[in-house]
Structure 1
Amino acid sequence: MCGAPALLQIFTFRPGILTWDAIRQYKQALSGHYDDWHPPAMNWLWRQLTAIHDGPLPMLVLQVALYWLGFGLIGWVWWRQGRRRSAAALLLVALLPVSLVVVGTILKDSLMAGALLTAAGLIAVRRPGEHVLAAMAWALLIGAATLRFNAVPACLPLGVALLPAAWRAGWKRLALASVTVAIPLFAAMPVANTLLRAEKSGVELSLVIYDLAGITRFSGANAFPQLAVADPVAVNAACYTPVSWDRYAWWGPEPCAIQFADVRRAFAAMQVKPTRWWLGAVVRHPIAYAEHRLAHFNSTTRFLVHDADLPPLPLVSDPNPWGCAVPANAPLTAIEQAATASLRTPIGWPIVWLAVAAGALVLLLGQSETGVALPLAISALLYGFSYLPLSVASEVRYYLWVTLGGAVAAIAALTQARHTSARRLALAGLPVVLVSLGGVAARMI
């Protein structure tokens, strides 16, 4: 069922859309020298794939293969169980235009989502005692945990689902199991970075700078360390936007007078740890911090916004030394047009998929047999809301896993909701209705 769409997607997006992030990652893959701004584990993997073929094509094939394999495994299980309408709905989810574009772009988000989806498929297929499938699923989860610093919330529920049922029976055992699973997941990225001798890039400073900028903007008091700027509050007011932190970075189109390198030097000169300074600013200005974080979360989830104020979905490769670009073709044009159009509708808003995952959780908590659907719903929610305190940019790619996990969980929940009360069904659907109406109304003002 999924082989043909996978081949068509590879043909359509070959050799893969390269953004600036991927260009930087491929340069490191070619050199074998890594820093930790982007996941060194992915760069190392890409280096191994160059033995098969140069350029982004092998990574595109891997991303697409994991994506469709995950859907295929879950769909196969449902088909065998006689849930054929659910399997058909699963195919529709897999064909969501925005998801197809994101998976056709070389991104850690796409690779992570594919790994998680295939792990979920293996959990769905696996029977008790099948240790090989369990080991494969664990490998995918550990691999996914090396790809994003906030990947652990997404991986944790699936890792717990791999444990024997007796180990997670009751709240005490479930809590212990969760802690046990969390330890290797949290360790995955730092261990991988250490083994690959990745240089420290100061990537964590991007979050610190953005939060200090937000606190300064909403409190009216300077939260930055001592900088060579006459009036940091006024300068920051002209730079800050709830959309992203990019103006404080060296690549921003309109660089702010307060720059990443400037703040980094200031912390070094003062011999102050950025995280300690950041925590002090949050404690002193909790309301301003909350206002900043909620404003950014609203933007990154595309909730109460105007679409013109948000970054578009990247549809072409950025200029690169290897001349990699996706040739124009009819399927690509159709998918890109559909993806661009869907971003202006609730289907393209991450806030709606968070609401879908929440609704699925409401339904699944009332069902006796939930299979992989319950951990998927929890995974999507935990991962989506991890961006509330941790995001620095409003890019729809961050929510690919929220879309996939939430949608699959919702299909499963609705399929098994025959004996669910009307009240519970209404409660499950209410978040989706409210955020959709809210988003539409905001765009009309």
Structure 2
Amino acid sequence: MLWVVVLYAAFQPGLMSVDTIDQYAQGLRGVFDDVHPPLGSLLLGLSGRLVGSPWLILVGQLLLLAGSMALLVRSPDGRMRRRGLFILGAFLVVPTVWALAVILWKDVMAAAVLLGAVAALKCRRPLLALVLLMAGTAFRHNALVAALPLAIPVMAQLSRPRWRWPLRALVLAVLVAGLALTPSLINRALGASKGWAAGQLFVFDLAGIYVAHPELFPGSTLEQDISAPELARSYSPFHVGSLLLGSPDARPVLLESLPGRRDVLVREWTRVVRAQPVAYAHHRWETFRRLIGAFEGPVFFPFQVRIQPNPWGFQLPDQGMLHQWLRSGADLVKNSLLFRGWAWLGALTVLTLLSLFDVRRRPLAFFTALSGLGYGLSYLVISIGCDFRFLYWSVIATFAALALRVTGEAPASQTPSK
């Protein structure tokens, strides 16, 4: 609780990026699009209506992160409990966790509910875990990748001992289908307009290939937005934003024009990737390498540091000593291993392999590590930028899997499923 109070006092009502401000505005209006998953926008707007700012979401995600990790380190064994408390202390102190936990991002919301799902599974509450996994897939477009491994222990806890594998497989298939359908069902329920967020990925990939092979550019649908020389000036493997925002010497590719060209872009992407698979792989690797910090130079956008200008006058208490002390601590390590994604993915790889050899005794540790690892690696093919926030669940999953390995997991027969 002290952790929550300190971070709230230093960063309330929560750091807000341009995306967060857009989501908050949508939530207040009650008019949503699916570029930003509308569940997060709905909750941000609900907080605004109730208390005049999004601070309820800040407190909620902080409580869920801290409370879930506290549950994961509990153990009846005194020695294991002491080790678990050490992990909890590291979790609360490491800037990689708290410097992003105070940001009102969909990445943080998704990570918080996914961690809650892991804690619910340790406490043998599979239905609660399922609800939290569904929320995770609704908070973040690609969180399904993280939720799928955790659906397996949900199935195992829901299943009765007498059930054979065909029936268990059927239950798992239903769970997977439910998780996959959750975002679209919520979008429909909230009346979210289709913005085709994935269009940014297709533009980013095409630009990466065309910069390497400009001879392929003539005839591209992007010609109506930008010329080949402009494309070369705008493209950066660090982020698609440079293409969408444009620059003084290059016109932008208009995001709002992409939904109307969806079929054309998909066909063009398929044709160009097939023609130049090496260039595509190179573009993907260069972006992923920068995302995980495997390059010389400072980490690209390790965390948000302020509230962007907004019509509601939200400001941070950035003149306070507590805020300045915490911010200086995060700035001190923002280019260290703590914010290098390769270090966290490497740790998850080790935890996944160790847990695999012990999967019968600690299945939840294995599936949690696999969830974080698979989620991080998925950005090799879907990343549109190198923001460290994309790897936040991988960071949280590292601590969760380690806690489960150190403190153990409750035996299946200890308490009934609810």
Q: How many Å separate the matches in 1 of 2:108 and 2:397?
A: 13
State the aligned residue count.
Answer: 402
Aligned to 2:254: 260
Say which of 209, 212, 221 aligns to 1:225: 221
Say which of 365, 370, 385 aligns to 1:393: 385
Q: Percent identity?
A: 24
**Are 2:31 and 1:33 equivalent residues in the alignment?**
yes
Q: Deviations over 1:12-55 (max 9, x none)?
A: 21111111111111111110011111111111122333343111
How many angstroms does 1:167 deviate by? 8.0
Q: How many Å separate the matches in 1 of 2:142 and 2:165?
A: 24
Aligned to 2:235: 240
Say which of 278, 281, 290 aligns to 2:281: 290
User: What code does the residue aligned with 1:245 have?
Assistant: V
Task: Sort the Cα spacing of 1:358 and 1:325 in 2 relative to 1 into closer, same or farther, 3 A.
Answer: same
Q: Which runs of 5+ in 1 are unaligned?
A: 127-132, 417-445
Aligned to 1:420: none
Q: Describe the SS at the equivalent of 1:344.
A: coil
How many angstroms does 1:263 deviate by? 6.5
Q: How many Å separate the matches in 1 of 2:27 and 2:189?
A: 15
Task: Sort the Cα spacing of 1:277 and 1:170 in 2 relative to 1 into closer, same or farther, 3 A.
Answer: farther
Aligned to 2:346: 355
Q: Which runs of 5+ in 2 are unaligned?
A: 409-418
Say which of 269, 275, 289 aligns to 1:278: 269
Asked whether the 8 Å contact 1:160–1:178 carries over to 2, the reply is yes
How many angstroms does 1:174 deviate by? 7.8
Q: Deviations over 1:138-190 (max 9, x none)?
A: 11110110111110111112221112266899998887665433211111111
User: What code does the residue aligned with 1:314 have?
Assistant: Q
Aligned to 2:141: 149
Asked whether the 8 Å contact 1:34–1:198 carries over to 2, the reply is yes
Q: How many Å separate the matches in 2 of 1:59 and 1:157?
A: 27
How many angstroms does 1:319 deviate by? 0.7
**Are 2:122 and 1:124 equivalent residues in the alignment?**
yes
Task: Sort the Cα spacing of 1:262 and 1:156 in 2 relative to 1 into closer, same or farther, 3 A.
Answer: closer
Q: Relative CO higher for 1 or 2, CA cutoff 8 Å, sep ≥ 6?
A: 2
Aligned to 2:2: 4
Aligned to 2:83: 85
Task: Sort the Cα spacing of 1:52 and 1:38 in 2 relative to 1 into closer, same or farther, 3 A.
Answer: same
Q: How many Å separate the matches in 2 of 1:170 and 1:95?
A: 45
Q: How many Å separate the matches in 2 of 1:394 and 1:79?
A: 42
Aligned to 1:428: none
How many angstroms does 1:258 deviate by? 4.7
Q: How many Å separate the matches in 2 of 1:94 and 1:255?
A: 45
Asked whether the 8 Å contact 1:71–1:94 carries over to 2, the reply is no
Aligned to 1:315: 305
What do you get for the CA RMSD once the two structures are aligned? 2.7
Q: TM-score, normalised by structure 2?
A: 0.88
Q: Deviations over 1:266-319 (max 9, x none)?
A: x74xx94322221121111111110000000001111123117x2352211111
Aligned to 1:423: none
Task: Sort the Cα spacing of 1:215 and 1:414 in 2 relative to 1 into closer, same or farther, 3 A.
Answer: farther
Asked whether the 8 Å contact 1:78–1:86 carries over to 2, the reply is no
Q: TM-score, normalised by structure 1?
A: 0.83
**Are 2:198 and 1:200 equivalent residues in the alignment?**
no
Q: How many Å separate the matches in 2 of 1:300 and 1:230?
A: 26
Q: How many Å separate the matches in 2 of 1:254 and 1:305?
A: 28
How many angstroms does 1:364 deviate by? 0.9
Aligned to 2:179: 185
Q: How many Å separate the matches in 2 of 1:170 and 1:292?
A: 46
Task: Sort the Cα spacing of 1:276 and 1:404 in 2 relative to 1 into closer, same or farther, 3 A.
Answer: same
> How do residues 427-438 of structure 1 correspond to structure 2 at under 5 angstroms?
none
**Are 2:385 and 1:380 equivalent residues in the alignment?**
no
Q: Deviations over 1:381-440 (max 9, x none)?
A: 111011111111111111111011023323544678xxxxxxxxxxxxxxxxxxxxxxxx
Q: How many Å separate the matches in 2 of 1:412 and 1:371?
A: 9
Say which of 329, 348, 373 aligns to 1:338: 329
> How do residues 8-27 of structure 1 correspond to structure 2 at under 5 angstroms?
8-27=6-25
Q: How many Å separate the matches in 2 of 1:280 and 1:170?
A: 45
